[in-house]
Chain A
């Protein structure tokens, strides 16, 4: 059963992950400010919670599934070298590590 879920691709590239994080933080903070002000006006904290929960669902829908906008800058992998010895296959590993730490 789990193999069905694992086979759905959910990856985003790095710029897309950053964009997704900014989007959900922005949405939740925005709904928190709106909810706080509205709850302060009508003096009921329940509405603040409802508005933040609404912001949470909107953020879920926008950032959890891997929309195409998060896949616009994919990584350009090095072409695979033939596996002749252990040392030649280290090079793509190192260039890979350099890209990750950016």
Chain B
């Protein structure tokens, strides 16, 4: 500690250790919180169905409305939220199918109230087989992953709204 450089060295190293401890403290205060989000509706507008190009599987089209208030999730540990909308259903050939239809990244600082209308799905809603036709019960689930300031996913949660599908027929070309 006799020279400026050695004093600066120990000062800087001590500050970094203190910062690491503070970051851990921030993580500890919010890691075990139960995060819930009120989602008012996810509504299916219309669904067409036709067989896909390759193995003639079912392809669904969905447009939806989504309104959610995400403000309670954002605390000081949250850097961004990764939201995704998935459809869950059962078919004759597979007991459980989950298909991600749409996702969105919500950064801290952006408007946390979502009010989306007439959203089209981002990804194709292909079924493995022909299970979508006449499927009576497809559940749309909005899930989210919380990315905190420590590079670990802090938590996740979901809200699930069941929506019975209409009776669909395949269109042939």
Contact = CB atoms under 8 A, between A and B. Distances in A.
B9 to A, nearest CB: 11
Contact of B26 (A12, A29, A39, A64): A39
Contacts of B21: 32
Interface string A5-25: 000001110000100110011
Given A11-B3, A17-B2, A39-B26, A29 B18 contact: yes
Interface residues of B, number: 23
* Main SS class of interface, A: helix
Contacts of B95: none
B3 A10 contact: yes
A21 B25 CA distance: 24
B120 to A, nearest CB: 35
Contacts of B25: 36
Contacts of B2: 10-12, 17
Nearest to B21: A32
Interface string B19-63: 101110110010000000000000000000000000000000000
A21 B7 CA distance: 8
Contacts, number: 67
Contacts of B19: 32, 49, 52
Contacts of A65: 4
A52 B10 contact: no
Interface residues of A, number: 29
B76 A44 contact: yes
B4 A56 contact: no
A25 to B, nearest CB: 6
Contacts of B74: 43
Contacts of A20: 1, 7
Interface of A: 10-12, 17, 20-21, 24-25, 28-29, 32, 35-36, 39-40, 42-45, 48-49, 52, 56, 59-60, 63-66
- Counting from the closest, the 9 A-B pairs by CB-CB distance are A17-B1, A43-B76, A10-B4, A32-B18, A45-B76, A56-B15, A24-B11, A43-B75, A11-B2
Interface of B: 1-4, 7-8, 10-11, 14-15, 18-19, 21-23, 25-26, 29, 74-77, 149
